[in-house]
Amino acid sequence: MQEELKIDKNSVIPIYYQLARLLEGQIRRGELKPGEALPTEMELAARYQISRMTVRKAIAELVAAGMVYAQQGKGTFVAVPKLDNIVFELNNFSEEIKQRGLRFNTTLLEARIVRADEQLKEKFQINDDNARFLFFRIVLSAEDEPLAYERKYTIYTKSKPILESELQDPTLPGLVTAHSDYLPVSSKKVLQVSVSTDEEASILGIAQGSPVFVIEQTIYDPELKPVGWGKSVYRGDRYKLTAYDGWYRKE
């Protein structure tokens, strides 16, 4: 077994993401095998001297990537890679851009509380007209060139304020963990090829009707109720999907 890597608390890379990558590495190297339980949140927090909330965000990223799954009351376990399903690699947008030596930037266009409309009631499987959601619109750029446009919703919890510092690397599992009382334990991603709308084309700086990848993601709590939903639009001239070793990744 290789010597365990450490977390750099002075790095610009978020601590939760560093932990997620450490665990991902252990899974890919076979140090954590399919069906094996991850250490508990308390154990990981003590081992790396970080908060349990940070550990929870890291595990949420692994769940969203399809690399682990949670069982209520039992723990979190390593998943078995499946060749017949697309499983997006853990690398988030910011880390991918940094690995390519480019400057990454997140632009928050909007963050507000919205009422449930028919689409949201369908996506979150609720009938409450008074339900409230946090709505985020975000642009992800490299070298000041917009590459992805994201719209994300989480169930609104009054006791969870919106902090600007938490929106620098705003993955949907991270937003659910930070801004609601719900624990995300599983995730579903649906990939579609589409063409850009007027709004998407204007924000991404491309021609209306240009090809785009659309990834729709739903985050579920332990009772398999949706607690987060979002849609990310990636420029078709900047991304492709490549399969390797049973996992898939964007390029």
pLDDT, tens digit, 9 for 90 and up, residues 118-150: 999 999 999 988 888 989 999 988 888 898 999
Mean pLDDT over residues 27-49, rounded? 89
What is residue 2's predicted lDDT score, i.e. its pLDDT? 43
CATH number, domain 15-78, options 1.20.1440.230, 3.40.50.300, 3.40.50.12780, 1.10.10.10: 1.10.10.10
Q: In what order do the strands lie in the sheet with 226-235?
A: 104-115, 132-142, 145-155, 226-235, 211-220, 186-195
DSSP 65: T
Q: What is the mean pLDDT of residues 203-228?
A: 88
pLDDT of residue 161: 58
Please give the structure tokens belonging to residue 104. Answer: 């990454």
Domain residue ranges in the chain: 15-78, 93-250
Cβ-contact 77, 33 below 8 angstroms = no
User: What is the rounded distance in angstroms from the CA atom of residue 58 to the CA atom of residue 61?
Assistant: 5
Whether the Cβ atoms of residue 45 and residue 1 lie closer than 8 Å to each other:
no
Per-residue pLDDT tens digits for 179-188: 666 767 677 8
The whole-chain average pLDDT of the chain stands at: 80
Local structure of residue 239 (DSSP, 8 states): -
Q: Global pTM?
A: 0.62
pLDDT at 242 over 90: no
Architecture in CATH of 93-250: 3-Layer(aba) Sandwich (3.40)
Determine which of 22-31, 46-55, 83-92, 156-165 has the lowest per-residue pLDDT on average.
83-92
Question: CA-based angle 106:110:115, to the nearest 5?
Answer: 140
> Among 27-41, 68-82, 235-249, where is mean pLDDT lowest?
235-249
